[in-house]
Amino acid sequence: MDLHKSFIKFKVCNLFSLIYSNFQSYRKIYLIIFDSVTILLSIFISLYLRFEFKIPLEGFALIYSWLPIYMGCQILIFNFTNLYKIIWRFISLWDVLKILKSISISFFVSILFFIFIYGFGGYSRSAIIIFFFLNTIILISIRVFVRIIFHYRSMQNYRVKRKIKKKLLLLGAGKTGEKIAREIINTPDSNYEIVGFLDDDLNKVGRYIHNLKIIDKITSLNIINLEFDEVLITISSISREKLLHIVDHCKVINKKYKTVPSLNELIDKNITIAKVRDISYSDLLGRQEANLDIKLINKFLVGQKILISGAGGSIGSELVRQCIAFNPSEIICVDFSEQNIFNLENMDEKVKNNVAIRTVLCDVVNHDQIDKVFRDYKPVIIFHAAAYKHVPIQERHPWTAVQTNIFGTLNMIKLANKYSAKKFVLVSTDKAVNPSNIMGATKRLSEKMIQSYNQVSETEYFSVRFGNVLGSSGSAIPTFKKQIKMGGPVTITHPEISRYFMSIPEAAQLILQASAIGGKGKIFLLDMGKPIKIIQIAKDLIRLSGLTPDIDIPIVYTGLREGEKLHEELKLENEKKLNTKFSKIMILVDKNPVVPWESFLIYLDRLILASKKLDSGIIQDLLKELVVTYKPMAQYPKENNFKNGNYNINTEF
Which class is domain 294-626?
A: alpha beta
Residues in the chain: 653
- Measured CA to CA, the distance from residue 169 to residue 193 in angstroms comes to 9
Between CA 286 and CA 273 the distance in angstroms is 21
From-to residues of CATH 3.40.50.720 in the chain: 165-279, 294-626
- Whether the pLDDT of residue 159 is over 50: the answer is yes
Q: Report CA 281 to chain centroid distance, whole Å.
A: 17
Q: How far, in Å, CA of 96 to CA of 140, rounded? A: 7
State the sign of the Cα–Cα–Cα–Cα dihedral 402, 404, 405, 411: positive
What pLDDT digit, counting tens, does each position of 431-460 carry? 999 999 999 999 999 999 999 999 899 999
Q: Is the pLDDT of residue 14 over 50?
A: no
Q: Is the pLDDT of residue 373 over 90?
A: yes
How far does CA 593 lie from the centroid of its chain? 38
Q: What's the whole-number mean pLDDT along residues 349-369? A: 85
Residues pairing with 586 in the sheet? 525, 579
**Segment 463-513, tens digit of pLDDT:** 999 988 887 766 788 888 888 988 889 999 999 999 988 888 889 999 999
Predicted confidence (pLDDT) at residue 295 exceeds the cutoff of 60: yes
Task: Say how far apart CA 222 and CA 554 lie, in whole Å.
Answer: 27
Q: Are strands 460-465 and 523-526 parallel, antiparallel or unpaired?
A: parallel
* pLDDT for 583: 85
pLDDT for the residue numbered 270 = 62
Axis crossing angle, helix 294-301 with helix 504-517, rounded to the nearest 10: 70
> Do 204 and 173 contact (CB within 8 A), yes or no?
yes
Q: Where are the beta strands (DSSP E) in 187-271?
A: 192-198, 208-209, 212-216, 230-233, 256-259
Q: Which residue type does 18 have?
A: L
pTM given for the model: 0.70
- Does the pLDDT value for residue 239 go beyond 90? no
Does 82 have pLDDT greater than 60?
yes
pLDDT average, residue stretch 541-556: 87
CATH superfamily ID and name for 165-279: NAD(P)-binding Rossmann-like Domain (3.40.50.720)
Measured from the Cβ of residue 276, the count of other Cβ atoms closer than 10 Å reads 18
